[in-house]
Amino acid sequence: GENVEQHPSTLSVQEGDSAVIKCTYSDSASNYFPWYKQELGKRPQLIIDIRSNVGEKKDQRIAVTLNKTAKHFSLHITETQPEDSAVYFCAASMDSSYKLIFGSGTRLLVRP
């Protein structure tokens, strides 16, 4: 079955710097890759997603890139702010499966 690896597990950056979180997936049939943000004690919330027919997608300060050949995708946050501090999860799924497989999460701390 699909397996998603995520790193780093923790990331500390200075406010205003960029943050990059990387994920790799095992099943080349995976074609949908969302990213979720989870603040302490709250539900995971979708922040951006990408499908395998595109290589990059941007939404204001957030971007996701996908390398299908290497089977990895990354989340990029620019001009980080303290409110970006949270746990971020990547996930992957494929058309033949109904479920999202999640990475183990990255705890991002943005220092003021």
Partner 1 sequence: DTGVSQDPRHKITKRGQNVTFRCDPISEHNRLYWYRQTLGQGPEFLTYFQNEAQLEKSRLLSDRFSAERPKGSFSTLEIQRTEQGDSAMYLCASSLAQNEKLFFGSGTQLSVL
Q: At 62, which amino acid appears? A: I
Using CB under 8 A as the binding rule, the residues of this chain from 62 to 81 that contact partner 1 are none
**In terms of C-beta distances under 8 Å and separation of at least 24 residues, what long-range contacts does 44-53 make, across chains too?**
44/89, 47/88, 48/75
Length reported for the chain: 112
Rounded to an integer, what distance in angstroms lies between the CA atom of residue 35 and that of residue 101?
A: 11
Q: Answer yes or no whether residue 43 interacts with partner 1 by CB under 8 A.
A: yes
Rounded to an integer, what distance in angstroms lies between the CA atom of residue 19 and that of residue 13?
A: 7
Among 11, 13, 49, 78, binds partner 1 (CB under 8 A): 49
Among 12, 26, 28, 45, binds partner 1 (CB under 8 A): 45
48-63: b or e for each residue (b if 16 or more CB lie within 10 Å)? bebebeeeeeeeeebb
Q: Answer yes or no whether residue 105 interacts with partner 1 by CB under 8 A.
A: yes
Least gap, CB of 15 to partner 1 (angstroms): 25
Closest to partner 1 by CB, 20 or 102? 102
Q: Answer yes or no whether residue 53 interacts with partner 1 by CB under 8 A.
A: no
Least gap, CB of 47 to partner 1 (angstroms): 11
Residues in touch with partner 1 (CB under 8 A): 4, 6, 31-32, 34, 36, 42-46, 49, 51, 89, 91, 93, 95, 97-105
